Chain A
Amino acid sequence: MTKRVASQSASNAGSDVDPAMLASIGKVIGGFAARPDNLLPILHGIQDALGFVPPASVPMLAGALNLSRAEVHGVISFYHHFRSVVPGRHVLKLCRAEACQAIGARAIEAHVRSRLGIGFNETTTDGLFTLEPVYCLGNCACAPSAMLDDQVHGRLSVEAIDRLIDGCGERP
């Protein structure tokens, strides 16, 4: 299975971008006061609206907040939450932290990687799933844990995570 690897590159900003996308980025930026401390809230707004932070937003943010492009790119690339490429229709985050490790997370991770044929921060070729690591969802007494889109699932087993994946309509 070929795979699309998520790149964090912020190059080619401004070229070949969808005007509707630019409009939504502009709308999010316009909803905040033009202060540098609003950069994270704005980035959250963009990712919540579009599923990712398109590289095209870098110069727009730099202009609006009076920052350099390097500063904006530096912030986006620092935080694991922000992604610079469009994700799959579902984002599956597997908890890799100790409480989940203690009760079977490594086996679940190996199973999901093999079943989806991708590694972390990659998207399946059919665009259905993006797989991401997460370090703790605060569900440590009901581990192992995963988050499918915005929903945390606990007490997972290989069978239970298979049902979650099946529920998203992927044919095995």
Chain B
Amino acid sequence: MSIRVFVPRDTSAIACGADAVAEKVESEASSRGVDVVVVRNGSRGLYWLEPLVEVETANGRLGFGPIAPADVGGLFEAGFPHACSHPLALGPVDQVDWLQRQQRVCFARNGITDPLDLDDYRVHGGWQGVQCALSMSAQEIVQIVTDSGLRGRGGAAFPCGIKWKTVLDQMVAQKYIVCNADEGDSGTFSDRMVIEGDPYRLIEGMLIAGIAVGADKGYIYLRSEYPLAQRVLAEAIDRARSASWLGTNVQGSGRAFDVELRMGAGAYICGEETSLLESLEGRRGQVRFKPPLPAVKGLFEKPTVINNVITLASVPDVLIHGAEWYRDMGMGRSRGTLPIQLAGNIRRGGLVELAFGMTLRELLHGFGGGSASGRPIRAVQVGGPLGAYLPESQFDTPIDYEAFAAIDAMLGHGGIVVFDDTVDMAEQARFAMEFCAIESCGKCTPCRIGSTRGVEVIDHIRGGTDSQANMVLLRSLCDTMLHGSLCALGGLTPLPVLSALKHFPEDFVLQP
């Protein structure tokens, strides 16, 4: 019987050579007459070990990583794919401490299954959530989601159940489910990992949402920067449809639900829900005024549930295990788990899914192992380009929406970007304004004009031109953007700027 060897088909694994490794494993095996079948799994998110090669044995899966194509020959020399000692051998993968200490819900299947294999999905607990949903009333599903305390994982953390109930209560025949997969925040990749590594989970979450609110059509808006995710998801939708998990009569239930994949086109602002809807309708991605809320008048003016990938991907387990099970994890008003993404200058970067409550310090040092450069960590930016920069003195903040809000920061989509002590925080503040200027949709003045003026004012400060007066001007400008912008882009760009000013003022002083 052939031995199964796993090499991830995941953007980051491939970016580090996984395709070449997979080919090399096949060619080495065939030249040595070893009967091996290579399975392209998703990534487990242990990115510092990618490409992570795994072998299935009677005693679980053994890992080797990071494996470069040039390592494969030596691996076979050492006895691979049979149990062997090799400097890159990791032992049983599920006993790797970094993985063992996590609480994986959304990512329970990632890296374990063949992402597109429907049988694999079913065997590993797939479709159980939708089976539950089909046996419940719409009100019951919405109640469970409400009781679970699940909040939107895209960044705004709005209670998911309240959004669903608003849509359910609209007495309109046509409703929509829209999945926001426009994961534009730097330092985040959890949406991409679900789509590439466990795509049916997202489809199942959308299906449950459709059953809950009475929508028969879903759209997934995926960013164009994710070509592999696009290929995997398109194939997954086709296969799900062929197997009658999507279509006019889902599994003979009499319920109709189908999903269409739409690609974004490189506009960060389209991660904002109303500009995403504009984009889906074929227009420039300009923010809409609210109200009306999308739940009342959303896509094509119909009631629309618009949720992030992780929110929807969390739903199947909420239905399977119950509201209480989910609500029992976490702290305060932040319930359940959050997939945290460790990125940037970090030694052990990757995906850490944990119940809310873990401190930043434990994540950065316990999981991350400090900076990749070996230098002290000076600042971390949490929550993407609109998130605050936090200094070491704030590293004991727990991962909790309210705890972050209390220090003028935000968790956002759970990305943590690590910077060592070589970072110039004035340059980072300038970039925050520059990014806002590049990505502003142009609809409101504080964002459109304020961001450009912000770059100029920071340049004056950094250049030593009338620094004191320009510092006052910068704060006033940030105040205008904070309170006068139409959406979170202009409204939150001051967060990284003001936090850099507050915690790292020395970087804004011109060095003689």
Contact = CB atoms under 8 A, between A and B. Distances in A.
A110 interface: no
A78 B188 contact: no
A140 B341 contact: yes
Contact of B344 (A103, A151, A153): A103
A137 B11 contact: yes
B15 interface: yes
B189 A139 contact: yes
Contacts of A138: 11-12, 183, 188-189, 191-192, 225-226, 229
A65 B191 CA distance: 33
Contact of B385 (A75, A97, A103, A137): A97
A142 interface: yes
Contacts, number: 160
B50 to A, nearest CB: 7
A142 B15 contact: yes
A35 B300 CA distance: 12
B285 A79 contact: yes
B423 A102 contact: yes
B40 to A, nearest CB: 16
A161 interface: no
Contacts of B262: 40-41
Given A40-B279, A138-B183, A82 B15 contact: no
Interface string A39-62: 111011000000000000000000
Contacts of B267: 78-81
A125 to B, nearest CB: 26
B237 interface: no
Given A40-B265, A138-B192, A141-B342, A98 B12 contact: no
Interface in B252-268: 262-268
B188 A81 contact: no
Interface string A70-90: 010011001111100000000
A41 B187 CA distance: 28
Contact of B281 (A37, A80, A97): A37
A29 interface: no
B381 interface: yes
Contacts of B283: 36, 39, 71, 75
A124 interface: no
Contact of B265 (A71, A79, A135, A145): A79
A139 B15 CA distance: 8
A137 B225 contact: yes
Interface in A1-44: 35-41, 43-44
A143 interface: yes
A40 B12 contact: no
Contacts of A151: 14-15
A140 B282 contact: no
Given A140-B186, A140-B415, A152-B15, A44 B263 contact: yes
B91 interface: no
Nearest to A95: B186
B186 A97 contact: yes
Contacts of A78: 267, 284-285, 441
B282 A143 contact: no
A44 B222 CA distance: 13
- Top 6 A-B pairs, shortest CB-CB distance: A141-B349, A97-B186, A154-B15, A102-B344, A140-B343, A79-B265
20 contacts: A37-B282, A40-B263, A44-B265, A75-B282, A75-B284, A80-B266, A81-B266, A98-B187, A102-B417, A136-B184, A137-B15, A138-B11, A138-B225, A139-B189, A141-B48, A141-B341, A141-B342, A142-B349, A152-B11, A152-B15
Interface of A: 35-41, 43-44, 65, 71, 74-75, 78-82, 97-103, 134-143, 145, 147, 150-155
